[in-house]
Structures are given as C-alpha cells and as structure tokens.
Amino acid sequence: MSQVLRSKRRRGLTVALVAALSAAGALTIWGAFGAHSAAPRTGPLTIHAGLENPPGAFVRGNGLFAKNGGRSQLVAAVSGAMIGPLSSVAVRSPDGQFVAYNTWQELRTVDSEQSFSKQAIAGGDALGTPSVRIRDDSGKDSLLERGAYSAAWRQDGAIAFVKGVEPQFRAGRSYDGQVVVRAGIHGHDAVWTKEPAHYVVYAWAGNRLLFYRVGLGEKLELLVADAPGSIRSLAEGSAIALSPDATRVAVLSQDATNVRLLDVATGGEVAWLDVTTATPPLAWLAYSGSWVSDHIVAPASAGLAVLHVGSRSLELEQVLSLDRSQFPVGVQVPRFVDADGNEIAASADIPSAKGTEAVSFLLVCDRIVRSCDRGEPAPAKEWLRLVDRTPAANEGGH
Amino acid sequence: MKVRAAISAAVLAISLIVPADAFAYLTWFEFTRQSNIASTLTMAWQYGPGFYGTQSWRAGSGVSTDACWIGHGWLPTGYYDLWGHWNNYDGKIAGRVFYLQNKPCWNGTWRTELFVHSEETAGQGQYCPTAGDDPYCWEGPSDYYSNGCIKVSRAGYPSDLRLVHDGWHGKSGDSRHGYFTINNWLYVRDG
C-alpha cells in the first residue's frame, strides 16, 4: 500500500516539476518577446534613475533641448507662472519650425512664505510681466506679445493666446485679458472674446478654440469659440484631452471625479465615467492629459490613470500607482509618446520642505511592464517640461 | 483682608493686560494642512501679552496636495493678507466669504481668487434643489473639497461657518465689510 502511494507521489512530483519548468520557460519567453503584446495591468510603477533619452524636445530655464541632447539658448527663461499645468509651457508649431514658449519677467521678488504686507507690497504694485516668445529653427528668438500667456497653434499657423488688459500682473488685481488670435507670427490680431476676464487658452479643436475662464475660487469653466465673438460654455470643469480627430474632448467635473466625453461641435455628451465607482476606484483625476488612438492618460489620485474610449463608452483600463514617499504630489501633464499609447512621459515635482529646494523630474514610463526611467532633477522654478507638439490633422491631441 | 488684597491685585493686573476695548483682540487664523478634506482651521486671539485663546474647526482645501495645481491643489503655505470680507457675496462663491491675497507656489505658479468660505447662498441660506452636489448646499464631507479655497462646514446650528464669521467679528472687534486689508490674517502650514 505504502509502495503504491510512494510511486504515485513520485509520479505526481515529476509532473509538477515538468509543469513548473514549462511555466518558467513560458514566462521567460513572454518576458523577452511578448511583454508589449500583453494586456496592461493595474499596479505600482517601479522607478529607475538614469533616463538617457527623453522622448522629445524639452525646455528648462533658458534652454531648449533637442531629443538628442543638443541645447539651444532661449532669450528668456520659460515659466508657466500664469498657467500652471492648464496649458502648454512650450509648444511647437504644426510645421515644426517654431516653438512658442511662456516667460515671466519678475518685476519684484516675492517671498512665497511671507505676506505681501510683510514685504511692503501694496495693492496695485506690479509683480511681473508674462510674455509669449517664439523661437525658430534657425535660432531666431522673438517676442510674440508682451503681457500675454498660454499659446496654442492652429493648423494654418495662426496662434491664439491671452493678452492682458495691461501687461503687468499686479498685487490685489485680477489679471484680466482677452483671447486674441494672430494670423501667423507676423499677422494681424483678432479679438475672439467679448469682454475681458481671467482666461487661459487650452488648445485648438480644428477651427474651434478651447479656453478656460478662471472664476472665483479658481473655478474653471471650459469655453469653446466657434468664431470670433461666438462663444459657448462647454462644461464647468477642465479638459483632460482632445480626441485625435479633434471632434471630442474629455472633460473633468469641478470635483474631479467625473469624466465626460463631449462633442466639441454640439456640446452633447457621448460617454460618461465616475472614477470613484470604477474598478479600481479613484479619488480623483486631473486635467491636462493626453489622447492617442482609443486611450486617454490623466493624472490621478494614485498616480496615472489610463482610460479606454469606445464609440459611446468610457472605461478605466489601468491605474499606475506611484510611491507617495518618492513622489508626494504625483505627476502632471502626462503625454503618450508613442503611437500605440504604451509609453507615457510626465513631469513630477517634489515640493520644497525643510529648507530644500523644490525639484522637477521627467519620467518616461512603459505602462505594459509598469516601469519608468527618471531623468536628472532640476529646480522646479526652471520649469522642466516636454515641448508639446501641435498635432497634425487627425493626429493625437493633448 | 489678605484675600481682598489678592483679588484687588488680580483685578488690577487683568485691567493692565486687557486692551481698553475688551472685545478687540489681535485675531488671526491658521490653516494646518493635513488632508484635503480633514485639515484644521484655527482662530487665535491674543487677549494679553503671552495670553492666547484659540478655537478650531475642521476645514478642507483643494482636491490634491499639489499647491502648484491651479483649480485643483490646496493652498500654498505661508502668510496671507486678508483683502476683503463680505456677508452676502453673490457669485459662484456666495454668502459669508473672506478674500485672500494671491500667492505663488514653489515653482512660481500664481494661485489667485482664493477665499475662506462654505456652501451657502448670497442670503446665507441653503439651496439644495437636486439629489446631487449643489454648489450652494452643504451635503456632507465631500463638500470640504475645493478648487483651492479653504472651506468650512455649513451644517448644523450654529454652523462652523457662522462660528468662524461671528468669532472673527467678536474677537477682533473689526466689523468692516467689503474690500480692506488686514496684514498677516492667515498662516498656512503643514500639519
């Protein structure tokens, strides 16, 4: 009896060993050749230092860096002081010849930890002047407009931006402006808004312009202009991304929990998703993500979220979580950097604490193997950001 | 006799340290950032050299903890001047509101249009027409989330908003409304 049992046990062990070796072999082959055909899965991102090749051009301070690492000097340092992540800090023209970038001329040094009164800053004192500059491929760097910010290129080379009622940003005053469209770098201006307000230009959707009105309490309202003076409210909230064909926009509710796909032309809702009841549930998403093919990537409470877009549906496909001890405030402005929507680049800031200076990193992540390469740290005030591309017709939007 | 002398001395000491207007103390607020929907707003007043009183309430700010995120992150740390106070503000933010100075975050992004407020109508009432989240209706803890402003509860009687509002007027003796400036009215720090 015991011999029979022993024999059965030995045969069972042999089968188990063969099965284990087969599984290990299959895993090795899958790991080597099949990773990118695998389904993306939710899970933590592992971060490795030593990003060697950024996925595209980027800006930092007064430098414009090519993908191959070459550095070009900018006349003024880049800054998103007036836009934060609402709009591109630097964006390339559709023909690739020009880069429009935001700058900030500080007229008065402001200690962010002290009140204005402590620094003898009175209401109405000029604190700085935002400007948009253009750099071309030959190295020519010219001022597009002083007292302006948030530039977006149209396919025909027209450029939209916000032009302040007056150039200076002043203590105790709202920075009101008008949305202006310049017909090319040296073209004439047309004012597209009817009255001055605190606007930020987001992007063109074909010949329609998407822009924000920033209200009391920084409440964001996404507006669409079909033509000069023809303005509609698209949504209370912010834009995550434009569809590749620029006909739809994914908008985020004020409370950052609901995503709606809207038809830009009609404002009609195409699909809807509550991320707090998705699987896995998320506390929030954030604006300024990217859309390639049928995938959207957005900053999320956990790190990054990838949504799958159907013809009339929206689903949470993947959540990529970041270690909060490493990246306490997560990432901003994630961008798909490959056509398949598998690689994501983003900026990650680490706030100042206990006398240390705040720093920024570029992260480039493969969402299939859930691994990121991290670039060198840069002072956060140098605005290390990828240069956004203006999508060609029928190409992915940001 | 000794007891009477001691009481007299104590009364004299108190009369020397308490301001002439006993209801006008140096008063300010502190916001301790702990989480977006469960931080602490504290009102502090100095009723004599080295003597302070405090009262605290639960408060919220932002949706994320990135202070550089316009319309999304909580307030940057540091001191803030007050730029105005209204009882019946009538906008997307309404009712009793305290208007704060602009503030740059760590990378220089300007945070603007910031207030201390709650969710109520311009008439200080509640307007709750839907089963969802109404902007002038305090439904519950999720209302502590904001685009960046500090929010306190409008629930219960007296509500935290009323205690903040009445506490400010009562302790500071400052009855002004509209645009005016009070230096270093709020200090925001990490908890």
- Look at residue A39 in the predicted model and tell me its pLDDT: 79
Say whether A7 sits in a helix, a strand or coil.
helix
Alpha-carbon distance B29 to B183, whole Å?
11
Integer CA distances (angstroms), A237 to A171, A224, B120, in order? 26, 13, 20
- When pLDDT is averaged across residues A243-256 and rounded to a whole number, the result is 96
Query: Does residue A89 contact residue A83 with C-beta atoms inside 8 Å?
Result: yes
CA distance A23 to chain B (A): 43
pLDDT at A29 over 80: no
Q: Is residue B43 part of a domain?
A: yes
Q: pLDDT at position A9, please?
A: 47
**Domains of chain A by start residue, with CATH:** 75-236 (2.130.10.10)
pLDDT for the residue A355 = 76
Q: Looking at beta carbons, which residues of chain A come within 8 Å of B111?
A: 218
Asked if residue B12 is part of any domain, the answer here is: no
DSSP A380: G
Number of domains in chain B: 1
Look at residues B3, B58, B8 and name the one whose alpha carbon lies nearest to residue B36: B58
- Contact between chains at B63 and A284 (C-beta distance less than 8 A): yes
**Would the pLDDT of A37 be above 60?**
no
Inside any domain, residue B6: no
Q: Chain B partners of A238 at a C-beta cutoff of 8 Å?
A: 71-72
pLDDT: is A69 or B99 the higher one?
Answer: B99
CATH number of the CATH domain containing B95? 2.40.440.10
User: Residue B147: inside a domain, yes or no?
Assistant: yes
Residue B100 touches chain A, beta carbons under 8 Å: no
3-state class of B146 per DSSP? Answer: coil
List the single residue in B with minimal CA-CA distance to A356: B106
C-alpha distances (whole Å) from A387 to each of A78, A87, A88, A355 are 11, 12, 8, 30
Structural domain that includes position B104 = 24-190
B94 lies in some domain = yes
Beta pairing, strands A177-182 & B78-90: unpaired
Gap between the Cα atoms of B154 and B166, Å rounded? 13
How does the average pLDDT of chain A come out, rounded? 90
pLDDT bucket at A67, cuts 50 / 70 / 90: confident
* Omega before A351 within 30 of 0, i.e. cis: no
- Asked if the structure places residue B132 within a domain, the reply is yes
Give every strand in the sheet of A43-44, ordered side by side.
Answer: A43-44, A314-321, A303-309, A295-299, A290-292
- Do B107 and A284 make contact, defined as CB atoms within 8 angstroms? no
Distance between CA atoms of B87 and B85, rounded to whole angstroms?
7
pLDDT value, residue B3 = 53
Q: What is the percent of chain A with per-residue pLDDT over 70, rounded to a whole number?
A: 88
Per-residue DSSP letter, B74 = P
pLDDT in tens, chain B (191 residues): 455 655 555 544 444 444 444 569 999 999 999 999 999 999 999 999 999 999 999 999 999 999 999 999 999 999 999 999 999 999 999 999 999 999 999 999 999 999 999 999 999 999 999 998 999 999 999 999 999 999 999 999 999 999 999 999 999 999 999 999 999 999 999 99
| Reported confidence tier of residue A52, pLDDT bands at 50, 70, 90 | confident
Are B148 and A217 within 8 A, CB to CB? yes
Size of interface A-B (CB pairs under 8 A): 149
Please report which residue ranges of chain A form alpha helices under DSSP H: 2-29
Q: What is the pLDDT of residue A356?
A: 86
Give the global pTM: 0.89
What pLDDT score was predicted for residue B19?
Answer: 44
Q: Is B115 on the interface with A (CB under 8 A)?
A: yes
Which tens digit of pLDDT belongs to each residue from A8-17? 444 544 545 4
DSSP assignment, residue A122?
Answer: P
Q: Which residues contact A134 (CB under 8 A, 6 or more apart)?
A: A98, A99, A100, A101, A141, A142, A143, A144, A185
CB–CB contact B79 A113 (8 Å)? yes
What percent of chain A clears pLDDT 90, i.e. is strictly above it? 83
Residue B9's pLDDT is what? 53
A115 contacts chain B (CB < 8 A)? yes
| Rounded-to-integer distance, Cα A167 and Cα A130, Å | 7
Are β-strands A371-374 and A46-49 bridged in parallel, bridged antiparallel, or unpaired?
parallel
- Report if residue B15 sits inside a domain: no
Residue B114 lies inside a defined structural domain of this protein: yes
- Residue A341: pLDDT over 90: yes
Write the CA distances from A351 to A103, A304, A327, A329, A361, integer angstroms: 21, 19, 9, 8, 12
